[in-house]
Amino acid sequence: MTNFESRQPLSGVRVLDFSTLLPGPMAGLILAEAGADVIKIERPGAGEDMRHYEPKWGRDSAYFAMLNRGKRSLALDLKNSESIIYIKKLMTETDVILEQFRPGVMARLGLGYEDLRKIKPGLIYCSITGYGADGPKAQVAGHDLNYIGDTGLLSLGIGPADRPVIPPALIADLAGGTYPAVVNILLALLHRHHTGEGCHLDIAMTDNMFMLAYWAIAEGQLTGEWPESGSALLTGGSPRYRIYPALDGRFVAVAALEQKFWERFCDLVELEEGLRNDSRDKDATIVRVTELISARNGDYWRQLFDGEDCCCSVVQTLQEATQDPHFRQRGLFDHKLGNEQGGVLPATAVPVVPAFRSAPTELQSAPELGSANDDVLGQCSKSG
């Protein structure tokens, strides 16, 4: 790290990003939003696969544009020895390597951690994989659904047996890959600042899933009764923490866990006194609350709960949430994304506080494939 005084904390940090799809590119986006120079390494001709996903937004997919704004693109064939030479020349100016291949692939290309640390001893080398660098599953292919399934997390919220539910977010990719990668890269940069030492970060998405199930693991190990979908306090087994359908097809999210919130909720929905002590017969309480909520439209419950201290809300659609005055006022959608055709969209909100990000007036765009080749490779040629 060369510039701690800049408004953006990662100004002066260069990242070579070999990753594709979601976990690594989102991590690279967060680093770029904090000021890092992120150079995306892509194969010549087609670039990374996400460029070609639908829906398209100009030249590339909207997904690619959202994840790769503010980065630079370097098109190199990693099976070509000349490309490897160029990358090794870039090491003297590189702080972080971000890669997402299966274990051993980068080493076979001559770009493993041991190869590159000889050139840059302070290099921080971050590898994101499904199952980690070693172990019986290290070479097993998988995606998010496999990772949350293998770690037991999916079993806690899989829904009815005849209608299993797929989670609405790629939990392992983001909570298991992106966030731990960013956190550990920042820790490694701080460690290097103090010691001058680099390191290899082994980020296994499956490893990081168990943190999300901490409560279920604690309960299961202590009592011998392991939580299941629909049975535990936080998976729908309690009337206090449950999703109830309203009359018009909307849903009410009830999270009245603490007694004071539960008592206020019971007052508002006019639950009978005999059912308010849900420790007696929680199923009976669930049935009655379901009847009460389903007798009214979502708007009725929204107005009733508005301003009340009871941890209850009507589930918003994603479109409604992006228009919510609260999120608008907090500036989550102030940053704009542009494309080569002059199109403009709100950019994806990222977990970087405004003080550390680029100004929202700066229109960002995803890089054209290989657009940094002349600049970056030209510098390599001049350096010999």
Question: 285-307: per-residue pLDDT in tens?
Answer: 999 999 999 999 999 999 999 99
**Bridge partners, residue 125, by sequence:** 97, 200
Q: Quick one: pLDDT at residue 169?
A: 95
How far apart, in Å, are the Cα atoms of 230 and each of 135, 238, 265? 32, 9, 21
Phi-psi region of 311 (alpha: psi -120 to 50; beta: other; left: phi over 0): left
| Start-to-end C-alpha separation, the chain | 24
Q: For residue 384, what pLDDT band results from cuts at 50, 70 and 90?
A: low
Q: Quick one: pLDDT at residue 210?
A: 98
Q: Quick one: pLDDT at residue 152?
A: 97
What is the C-alpha separation between 286 and 170, in angstroms, rounded? 30
pLDDT exceeding 70 applies to what percent of the chain? 97
Average pLDDT of span 80-98: 96
Q: Quick one: pLDDT at residue 3?
A: 40
Phi-psi region of 119 (alpha: psi -120 to 50; beta: other; left: phi over 0): alpha
**Domains defined for the chain, CATH in brackets:** 14-210+332-383 (3.40.50.10540), 229-245+251-314 (3.30.1540.10)
pLDDT, tens only, 216-263: 999 999 999 999 998 899 999 999 999 999 999 999 999 999 999 999
Q: Which positions are annotated as active-site residues? A: 143, 173
User: What number of other Cβ atoms are within 10 A of residue 46's Cβ?
Assistant: 11
Q: Quick one: pLDDT at residue 339?
A: 95
**Does the structure show a pLDDT above 60 at 4?**
no
Q: For residue 5, what pLDDT band results from cuts at 50, 70 and 90?
A: very low
pTM above 0.75, yes or no: yes
What is the C-alpha separation between 237 and 285, in angstroms, rounded? 11
